[in-house]
Structure formats: C-alpha cells, structure tokens
C-alpha cells in the first residue's frame, strides 16, 4: 500500500489506532481516498478480515465506487465486506431475518410515490377529508416519527389534529403489514427495533462488525445514528467522515448535531482535520472560507492549498434572467475558444425552475448541455406499472400494486367497483385480492363488471402460471405484452408514447443485465429485481463521452467538481430562498449550500444575478444575494455588460441621476484590486449605487460604490 501519496493528516487518519475517529474532511480534501485507504489499511496492517468490516454511504453510487476502489487496491475478495447505504444494508439484514422481524418472506419496498398513494388510500378509508388531512402532511408526519424511532403507539399526541395523524400512521402501518410491504424508513426502523429487542442477533452482529465506517456523516438522521450505535455496541471501532459545513439536507431530517454528539457518545473519539484542498485555487478557497465563517457553531476548519492563486471570482449583474443566461452562454463560448471542453463546465442553481431560461439560451447558441435530476428510470410511470404487475405476481396481497394496475391499462373496472372491493376488504380485514375473489364468488356485480373482473383475475392467474418457469427477463417480457401495457402506451400519441414504449422495452434489458450480474442466493430473482428497482432507482448520469455543459441544482452538485462553475441566480429571495430567510438555522443551511457551490469550482468561478426576474409570474426586483457581499471584495471582479437587452434606451437618456453622495462623473477613484480609474456613469443610490469606472489597463467595469474610494 502506498502511503506516501497521502499528506500527513490523511496518513494520520488512515493509520489511526483501532478506536473511534472523527474525520472532519473539508471540500476537496480527499476524503474518499482516506476512507478507502483506511479500509485497505485495516485489512492489510491490522489483520482485520473483510468479514468484520461494515462501511455505510448515502448513495448507491458512492457505495459501488467505494467497493470497486477497494477491490482494485486489495489483493483479496471483498464480498464478505458489508458496503452499502443505510437502507441497502438494512434491507440485506431484514432479508436474512424476516422471520425474527415478523415479516413475510417476500416483503417488498415502497418508494415515496407508492407511500404517498398508500397514505392517501388510508385517509380515504378512514373517511377523513383530504383537505383537512393532506396526504403530503401525513406522509411528512409519519416519516418524521419514524426517523425519531417512534412507532404509532409511542407518539405523544399534541392536539386533536395530531391525534388524527397518529390514527392515520397506525392505519397505514397496519395496511403495510397486511400487504407485506415496507417503506424506506421502515427498513431502518425495523432493523433498529429488531436489534434492540433481539439480544442474540444484536450480540451476533456486534461481534461481527469490529470496524464500522460512515461517510457523509453530517447527513445522518436520528434513526441512522441509532442504527450505528446499535451495531457499534461497546467494543467496535467507529470511524466517521464528514463535514459540518457541507450539511445541506437538514430539511429532510439530517441532523448536523449528530456530528457534534459523536465525541460524547463514542468516548475517546479523536478528531482529525483534513484541511488541505487539492481542488480549487486559493482565491476560490479564500472566498469559501470567508463565506462559511459567517455561520455559527461550526466545528471549525480552514481550507488551504499549495496551488495557484487563480483568477478573481467574476460577479455579473444581469439586467434580467435572460441577460444573465446570455452572459453565461457568451462566457461559455469564450471558454470553449480557450480550450475548455464543455463537460468541464457546470451551471449550478438553487431551484430547478431556473434551468429553463438557461436551457433556452444554450439551445439558441447550439451549445449541447445536460440537465441532471428529474425523474429517474425506475420512477417513471410506465416502469412502475410494469413493476406493479411483477409485484402482484410475487405477492397477491400487495395492495398498492393491485391499486395501481387493476385498471391499467383500462379494462372496465371503474371507481365504483373498486370502492365496493375496498370497503369489503376493510370491513373483513382482507387484502384487495382476497376481497375481490370473495365478492366474485358471492356474485355481487353486474354481468359487465363481473366479466371485466374475471378477465383481470384470470389474467393475473395465467401470468403466474406462465411465468413461473421463465427466466427473469422472459418473465418481464411476457408481463409487458400480456398485461397490454405495451399496446396501451403504443396508442398514446406523440413522442411521449414512443419514449414510454422504449422505456418498457428497456426494462427487459435491465432485467437481463441484472440476472447476469448475479442474484443474491437467498432471494428469488424477481424479488431481488424488485428490491433493486426500489432501492436503486437508476441513475440518469450523463455519459462521460458526451461533451455537454452540466446543469444541476446546488444540491445535486455536492461531491462533484468542475474546472469552471457558474453559480446563477445569486439574489435574495432566490438564494437564500425566501422560505428559508425567516429561520436562522435554515439561513445557515443556505449559506452552506453556497459554500458547497463555491467549492465545486477548480479554476474559475462565475456568480451572477438578475436585477429583475420573473418569479411565479410576477416581475420581482431583488437585491444581490447577501452571500455575494460576504465574499471579500479583493477576490472579486464585478462586471456588467451594456447590451441592448440589459437597459432600455429611454431610461438612460431621461434619467440621469445627479451624483448623490461621494461620486460624480469624471471623478478619479481608486479600487483595492484594479487601481485608479475615472467614473463614467453612476446608477442607483445608497447601498445599491453602482459606478461605471474606466481603468487604464483593465477597461470599463461596473462596481458597487462601497468598493471604491475617492482618490
């Protein structure tokens, strides 16, 4: 193992004695390298068997990457090592111990969309008003309770409405149990509960995992922390890696506090800081450091680099969002001339809605781009339809799957028929499938409905018989055609239907590929495939060979790096977002988000804002983001193009403001970075005053007045 490729702090972390370690790893400080080297070190130097190691990450992508890196460094198989996400590892645990956990062997996993539908059904079944008890809120409530480790009976009701939400939670939980399904949070919760109550299992796993490693620890929630403590027990060594300054998922339950609690809960924990950055220029790092220093309660870190100073950060004041987009596109064209390839350039923004204007500008100039995010493969409606058939075949009790496909494609089973089935099921505590069978026996329907229902029942039964012996991908293929899904989407007009057909056909390939890569022995291929689809909803990664500008939100940019970064929409109300501005905690998270954005850039960072922006249909005038002001002036170069779009002629000629205060046209002024120049124009007043200055060597620049002094 080559340790001399690591810096002293990294080496210290990799070679740390077997105990608790807290690695505070700044952006671009090589934390993944440290983590993988550490695991290799444990195996090679501490003689820990891969069998005794467990490593947790937040995404499947990170887990896969970690395993393959370790494999390439280690001369032995890593199969015995547990590497995965909290959810993936919990799933693996519950598959082995479904009996102890009181689960059906073929239990399936609900994604958040399935969960939402199921909760809505439950609310209807309880005869509650959807307006008074919105499914979204119930979902938020339920997931929140689960993250705190509370089952329905453990929740303290706050008020009458809270009491109702508990009842919804209770009913939802019962419905899940009946259907043999569990949601994401259940995977963690059931694992924790089982480890808490079953001393034998707890002892077994605590004895096994002598070394536990957690990546991105600042993103853990309470339940995940509990999960870790249960497996760690008294004797196992825990290494966590994280960066409190990059915690940007507080809004979905991540507790930055966990990283603060670690030293207390894991006695003797040693803190090691990785502060040397290998990514960015010192200008970018200084800006990031200055920005994040405005936050309180940090563990504290100061990134530094041995690298170049680099160019100043460019701040562009656009007239409106179109002007901003054109600025970006123009700069991209320049960069391209300067031998940057498009894939080295990223445009980051706070919210997805911002991408449209930028996309239009890129399209207009024929610049290829790729937008990250959006619906992923296994989340597409047509794919979920197909998977619901597979789910129902595996498990006729799967009510959410039943609901989804009973009338997809349309086969004459309407809402009234379904209501009858649902009510019967509810009254007799049966699953929808059982209720349907009993009602058919009792001849409860009109002839037409009965025919429709019978053909559905027969369809499913035939599918089960016919696919039993088939290989997984043949099963999928059979289901696609026999269900009529293919025909259904074929009829859908336009490009949409075509894409959906292609997606469905792709599912056969996906299934084939899945079986080739090997199915865990303890599961049936179909169950394994379904679990895979639910847990790993499929990347929409840009292919590396595509030379495209990368567009994404700041959140999805985390963990990535780009030679050139444009950070668009740096305006108050948008970034920081208006919904976060009232709450100091949320505001600090926005600042961390900005920190994440700034530290993505390797060589060149552009930040831009628009003076006028159409938001929710209205023209809104926002001030430049406070984050821009938190970056030291000497690191910044502010510019504004005087394009036609950016300022109507009329305003210039009729409105010539008399210089208020310190500056007037023709005056000689001084700037800390650019030196001496002459004032050409003045706009606005007070804090917003912008002064156009001509500098002898640098040309004309528009600057904020407070950055200038009289000569």
| Residue labelled with tokens 């339920």 | 142
* Catalytic entry in 11, 15, 32, 434: 32
Of the candidates 351, 420, 449, 524, which one interacts with DNA according to CB under 7 A? 351
The minimum distance between CB 4 and DNA, in angstroms, equals: 34
Q: Do 426 and 125 contact (CB within 8 A), yes or no?
A: yes
- Contact window for DNA (CB under 7 A) among 15-23, 264-272, 350-358, 632-640: 350-358
Least distance to DNA, CB of residue 379, Å: 8
Tell the residue number behind the tokens 């923004």, with chain if given. Answer: 349
Q: Does 112 bind DNA (CB under 7 A)?
A: yes
If one asks whether residue 403 binds DNA (CB under 7 A), the answer comes out as no
- Length of the chain equals 711
Binding range to DNA, per CB under 7 A, among 205-213, 293-301, 573-581, 665-673: 573-581
Question: Of the ranges 208-216, 288-296, 514-522, 609-617, which one interacts with DNA (CB under 7 A)?
Answer: 609-617
Based on the shown chain and the rule CB under 7 A, indicate whether residue 537 belongs to the binding site for DNA. yes
User: Smaller CB distance to DNA: residue 287 or 533?
Assistant: 533
Residue 253: left if φ>0, alpha if ψ -120 to 50, beta else—which one? left
Closer residue to DNA in complex, CB, 82/184: 184
Query: For residues 166 and 151, what is the distance between their CA atoms, to the nearest angstrom?
Result: 9
Of 531 and 693, the one with the shorter C-beta distance to DNA is 531
Cis, peptide link before residue 346, omega less than 30° from 0:
no
> Which of 153, 443, 448, 616 touches DNA (CB under 7 A)?
616
Strands 675-683 and 668-671: what pairing? antiparallel
* Cβ atoms of residues 377 and 383 within 8 Å: yes
Tokens representing 355 are: 């991408």
Q: Please give the residues from 634 up to 693 whose contact with DNA meets the rule CB under 7 A.
A: none
* Least Cβ distance, residue 430 to DNA (angstroms): 23
Contact 218, 243 (CB under 8 A): yes
Does residue 499 belong to the site contacting DNA (CB under 7 A)? no
**Where does 97-221 have alpha helices with state H?**
112-125, 135-147, 160-179, 184-197, 199-208
Closest CA to 256 of 289, 295, 211: 295
Q: What are phi and psi of 378, to 5 degrees?
A: -75, 0
Least distance to DNA, CB of residue 213, Å = 17
Report d(CA 598, CA 315) in Å as an integer. Answer: 12
Question: Which member of 600, 613, 626, 640 is catalytic?
Answer: 600
Residue 110 DSSP class: E
Are 162 and 381 in contact by the 8 Å Cβ rule? The answer is no
* Cα angle: 96, vertex 98, 100; to 5 degrees: 105
| Annotated catalytic residue within 147, 183, 186, 216 | 216
Answer for which of 10, 29, 52, 60 binds DNA (CB under 7 A) is 60
Q: At closest approach, how far in Å is the CB of 637 from DNA?
A: 29
Single out the residue of 61, 270, 298, 629 in contact with DNA (rule: CB under 7 A).
61
State the Cα–Cα distance between residues 93 and 256, nearest whole angstrom: 27
Residue 414 as a binder of DNA (CB under 7 A): the answer is yes
The residue range among 7-15, 516-524, 614-622, 699-707 that interacts with DNA, by the rule CB under 7 A, is 614-622
Binding of DNA by 555 (CB under 7 A): yes
Q: For 416-454, give one letter per residue: b (16+ CB within 10 A) or e.
A: ebbebbbebbeeeebbbbbbbeebeeeeebeeebeebbe
Active-site annotation holds for 215: yes
Q: Which of 254, 210, 199, 259 is nearest to 232 (CA)?
A: 210
Kindly state the smallest distance separating residue 88's Cβ from DNA, in Å.
Answer: 5
User: Is 323 known to be catalytic?
Assistant: no
Binding segment toward DNA, per CB under 7 A, in 1-9, 38-46, 534-542, 628-636 = 534-542
Residue 618 or 697 having the CB closest to DNA:
618
- Cβ proximity to DNA: between 373 and 657 the closer is 373
Q: Report, in Å, the least distance between residue 402 CB and DNA.
A: 15
* Least distance (Å) between residue 93 CB and DNA: 13
Mapping DSSP onto H, E and C, the string for 216-271 reads CHHHCCHHHHHHHHHHHCCCCEEEEEECHHHCCCHHHCCCCHHHHHHHHHCCCCEE
Of residues 229-288, those binding DNA (CB under 7 A): 251-252
Residue matched to tokens 């039943």: 402
The CA distance from 21 to 42, in Å, is: 14
Instruction: Output 41 or 566, the one with its CB closest to DNA.
Output: 566
Pick the catalytic residue from 114, 186, 215, 590. 215
Based on the shown chain and the rule CB under 7 A, indicate whether residue 353 belongs to the binding site for DNA: yes
Tokens standing for 571?
Answer: 């305006």
322 is catalytic: no
494 binding DNA? (CB under 7 A):
no
Which phi-psi region, left, alpha or beta, contains residue 270 (left: φ > 0; alpha: ψ -120 to 50)? beta
Task: Using the minimum distance from each CB to DNA, give the nearer residue, 59 or 515.
Answer: 59
Quick one: which of 44, 65, 71, 111 contacts DNA (CB under 7 A)? 111
Compute the least distance from the CB of residue 228 to DNA, in Å: 16
Q: How far is CA 660 from the centre of its chain?
A: 48
Minimum distance, C-beta of residue 503 to DNA, in the bound complex (Å): 16
**Smallest distance, Å, CB 548 to DNA?**
18
**Cα–chain-centroid distance for residue 50?**
29
Q: Which among 259, 257, 202 is positioned nearest to 233, based on CA atoms?
A: 202
Q: Which helix (H) or strand (E) holds 552?
A: strand 549-553
Q: Is 246 a catalytic residue?
A: yes
What is the x/- site pattern for DNA, positions 72-91, by CB under 7 A?
A: -------------x-xx---
Query: From CA 351, how far away is CA 590, in angstroms rounded?
Result: 12
In the bound state with DNA, the residue whose beta carbon lies nearer, of 410 and 699, is: 410
Measured CA to CA, the distance from residue 226 to residue 21 in angstroms comes to 18
Among 76, 203, 207, 579, binds DNA (CB under 7 A): 579
Q: Which is nearer to DNA, 330 or 537 (CB)?
A: 537
For DNA, the binding residue among 536, 611, 638, 683 (CB under 7 A) is: 536
Looking at beta carbons only, is 193 or 577 nearer to DNA? 577
Radius of gyration of the chain (CA): 29
**β-strand partners of 276:** 304
Nearest to 321 by CA among 526, 102, 525, 618: 618
Please select the residue that binds DNA; options are 177, 352, 503, 524, rule is CB under 7 A.
352
Q: With binding defined as CB under 7 A, does residue 363 bind DNA?
A: no
d(C-alpha 671, C-alpha 711), whole Å = 9
**Does position 32 bind DNA by CB under 7 A?**
no
Q: Is 614 in the site for DNA (CB under 7 A)?
A: yes
**Residue for token digits 């075949």?**
393
Rounded CA-CA distance 506/433 in Å is 29
- 359 catalytic? Reply is no
- Residues from 182 through 201 that contact DNA (CB under 7 A): 184
Instruction: Give dist(CA 259, CA 23) in Å, integer.
Output: 10
Kindly state the smallest distance separating residue 330's Cβ from DNA, in Å: 24
Q: If binding means CB under 7 A, how many residues of this protein chain bind DNA?
A: 40
325 binds DNA (CB under 7 A): no
What's the min distance (Å) between Cβ of 120 and DNA? 8
Active site residue 614: no
Catalytic residues: 31-32, 215-216, 246, 600
Sites of contact with DNA (CB under 7 A): 58-61, 85, 87-88, 111-112, 184, 251-252, 350-353, 373, 376, 407, 409-414, 535-537, 552-553, 555-556, 577, 579-580, 586, 614, 616-618
């Amino acid at each position: 193992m080559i340790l001399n490729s690591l810096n002293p702090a990294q080496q210290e972390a990799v070679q740390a004695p077997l105990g608790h370690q807290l690695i505070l790893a700044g952006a671009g400080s090589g934390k993944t390298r440290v983590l993988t080297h550490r695991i290799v070190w444990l195996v090679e130097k501490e003689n820990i068997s891969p069998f005794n190691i467990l490593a947790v990450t937040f995404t499947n992508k990170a887990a896969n990457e970690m395993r393959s890196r370790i494999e390439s460094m280690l001369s032995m198989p890593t199969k015995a090592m547990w590497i995965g996400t909290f959810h993936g590892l919990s799933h693996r645990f519950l598959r082995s111990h479904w009996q102890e956990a009181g689960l059906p062997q073929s239990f399936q996993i609900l994604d958040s969309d399935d969960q939402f539908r199921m909760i809505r059904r439950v609310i209807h079944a309880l005869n509650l008003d959807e307006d008074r008890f919105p499914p979204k809120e119930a979902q938020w409530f339920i997931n929140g309770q689960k993250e705190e480790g509370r089952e329905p009976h453990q929740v303290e009701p706050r008020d009458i409405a809270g009491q109702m939400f508990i009842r919804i939670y209770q009913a939802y939980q019962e419905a899940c149990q009946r259907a043999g399904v569990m949601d994401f949070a259940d995977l963690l919760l059931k694992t924790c509960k089982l480890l808490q109550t079953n001393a034998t299992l707890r002892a077994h796993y605590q004895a096994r995992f002598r070394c536990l490693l957690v990546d991105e620890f600042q993103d853990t929630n309470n339940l995940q922390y509990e999960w870790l403590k249960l497996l760690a027990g008294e004797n196992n060594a825990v290494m966590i890696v994280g960066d409190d300054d990059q915690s940007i998922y507080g809004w979905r339950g991540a507790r930055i506090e966990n990283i603060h609690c670690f030293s207390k809960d894991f006695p003797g924990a040693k803190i090691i800081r990785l502060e040397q950055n290998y990514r960015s220029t010192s200008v970018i790092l200084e800006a990031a450091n200055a920005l994040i220093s405005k936050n309180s309660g940090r563990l504290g870190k100061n990134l530094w680099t041995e690298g170049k100073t680099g160019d100043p950060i460019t701040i562009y004041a656009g007239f409106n969002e179109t002007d901003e987009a054109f600025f970006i596109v123009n700069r991209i064209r320049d960069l391209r001339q300067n031998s940057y390839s498009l894939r080295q350039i990223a445009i980051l923004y706070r919210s997805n809605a911002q991408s449209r204007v930028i996309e239009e500008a890129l399209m207009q100039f024929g610049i290829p781009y790729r937008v990250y995010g959006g619906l992923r493969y296994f989340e597409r409606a047509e794919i979920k339809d197909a998977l619901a058939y597979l789910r129902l075949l595996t498990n006729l009790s799967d009510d959410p799957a039943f609901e989804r496909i009973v009338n997809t494609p349309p086969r004459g089973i309407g809402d009234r028929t379904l209501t009858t089935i649902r009510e019967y099921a509810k009254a007799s505590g049966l699953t929808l499938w059982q209720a349907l069978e009993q009602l058919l026996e009792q001849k409860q329907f009109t002839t037409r409905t009965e025919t429709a229902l019978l053909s559905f029942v027969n369809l499913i039964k035939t599918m089960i018989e016919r696919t039993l012996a088939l290989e997984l991908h043949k099963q999928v293929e059979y289901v696609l055609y026999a269900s009529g899904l293919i025909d259904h989407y074929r009829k859908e007009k336009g490009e949409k239907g075509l894409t959906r057909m292609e997606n469905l056909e792709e599912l056969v390939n996906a299934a084939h590929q899945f079986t080739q890569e090997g199915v865990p022995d303890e599961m049936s291929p179909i169950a394994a495939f379904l679990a895979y689809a639910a847990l790993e909803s499929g990347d929409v990664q840009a292919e590396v060979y595509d030379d495209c500008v990368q567009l994404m939100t700041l959140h999805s940019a985390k963990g990535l790096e780009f030679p050139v970064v444009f950070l668009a929409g740096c305006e108050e109300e948008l970034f920081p977002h208006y919904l976060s501005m009232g709450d100091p905690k949320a505001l600090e998270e926005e600042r961390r988000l900005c920190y994440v954005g700034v530290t993505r850039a390797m060589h060149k960072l552009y930040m831009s804002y628009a003076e006028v922006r159409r938001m929710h249909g209205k023209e809104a005038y926002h001030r430049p983001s406070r984050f821009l002001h938190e970056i030291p002036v000497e690191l910044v170069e502010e510019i504004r193009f005087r394009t036609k779009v950016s300022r109507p002629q009329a305003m210039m000629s009729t409105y010539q403001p008399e210089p208020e205060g310190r500056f007037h046209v023709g005056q000689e002024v001084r700037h800390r970075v650019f030196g001496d120049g002459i004032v050409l124009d003045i706009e606005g007043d007070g804090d917003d005053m912008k002064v156009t200055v001509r500098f002898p060597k640098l040309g004309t620049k528009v600057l904020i007045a407070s950055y200038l002094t009289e000569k």
